[in-house]
Amino acid sequence: EAAARRKGKTRRGRGKARNEGLLSKQKRSRRMKANDRERNRMHHLNSALDALRSVLPTFPDDAKLTKIETLRFAHNYIWALTQSLRLA
């Protein structure tokens, strides 16, 4: 048994705990990177929606449109512009 341990055929002791600790760090690192990607994605989406809101015709005293309201308003506005071009 001692000879087998020296050759590395059996594992005992802290090796497993060390690997589990490393896996835990890797999982945490992956989760943090995924969170950063999602945060950046949402930041870019919100910036794009703000840019879209800025070109839609609304009254200045109107409250900020929600995301879905902005998309629906943009869709309807584009449809209305298309119809007015067809009629012209």
Q: Is the predicted pLDDT of residue 64 greater than 70, yes or no?
A: yes
The single-letter DSSP state of residue 63 is: P
In a domain, 36, yes or no: yes
In a domain, 3, yes or no: no
In a domain, 6, yes or no: no
Residue 36: its pLDDT value, please?
Answer: 98
In a domain, 7, yes or no: no
Question: The CATH number of the domain where 46 resides is what?
Answer: 4.10.280.10
For the chain, what is the domain count? Answer: 1
Where is 25: in which H helix or E strand? helix 15-55
In a domain, 1, yes or no: no
Residue 30: its pLDDT value, please?
Answer: 95
Q: Is the predicted pLDDT of residue 29 greater than 60, yes or no?
A: yes
pLDDT tens digits, 33-53: 999 999 999 999 999 999 999
Residue 41: its pLDDT value, please?
Answer: 98
Entry pTM: 0.67
Q: Which domain holds residue 41?
A: 13-87
Residue 62: its pLDDT value, please?
Answer: 74
**Could you tell me which of 79, 40, 72 has the C-alpha nearest to residue 53?**
72
User: Measured between alpha carbons, how far is 26 from 18 in angstroms, rounded to an integer?
Assistant: 12
Residue 8: its pLDDT value, please?
Answer: 58
In a domain, 38, yes or no: yes
Residue 52: its pLDDT value, please?
Answer: 96
Distances (CA, A) of 5 to 14, 51, 81: 14, 66, 79
Q: At what angle do helices 15-55 and 67-87 cross, to 10 degrees?
A: 40
